[in-house]
């Protein structure tokens, strides 16, 4: 008898939405995995699209276990980063000084 493979199932709930992990399943092959995924995860029309991927094909980000963040510091994207910009405008004699 053939060995069961583990597949990860990802689904899209609505057009333009984000793809979420729906769950895992075991099947004898990719064709059967797709049929099982539709039966398990689309019964109540939760998803409009499914991606069925063999578990060995799913890769892990190199920094797994740590909180993932940007590779470069980007404090200018935070509200506190703009506070420093106003102070620099005032320090270097900018026209508006942050106030309009």
Tell me how many helices (H) and strands (E) the chain has: 2, 3
Domains of the chain with CATH codes:
1-59 (3.10.20.520)
Q: In sequence order, what are the beta bridge partners of 38?
A: none
By the 8 A CB rule, do 42 and 52 touch?
no
Q: Is 91 exposed, middle or buried (0-12, 13-18, 19+ CB in 10 A)?
A: exposed
Q: Is 9 helix (H, G, I), strand (E, B) or coil?
A: strand
Span 55-87, pLDDT tens digits: 999 887 776 556 656 667 666 666 665 666 777
Length of the chain measured in residues:
100
Residue 97 has pLDDT above 60, yes or no: no
pLDDT at 43: 81
pTM of the model: 0.59
Residues 27 and 4: beta-carbon distance below 8 Å: yes
Compute φ and ψ for 11, nearest 5 degrees: -135, 155
């Amino acid at each position: 008898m053939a060995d069961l493979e583990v597949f990860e199932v990802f689904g899209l709930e609505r057009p333009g939405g984000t793809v979420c992990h729906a769950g895992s399943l075991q099947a004898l092959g990719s064709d059967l995995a797709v049929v099982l995924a539709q039966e398990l995860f689309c019964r109540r029309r939760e998803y409009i699209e499914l991606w069925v991927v063999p578990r060995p094909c799913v890769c892990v980000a190199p920094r797994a276990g740590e909180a993932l963040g940007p590779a470069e510091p980007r404090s200018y994207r935070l509200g506190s980063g703009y506070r420093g910009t106003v102070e620099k405008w005032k320090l270097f004699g900018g026209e508006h000084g942050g106030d309009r």
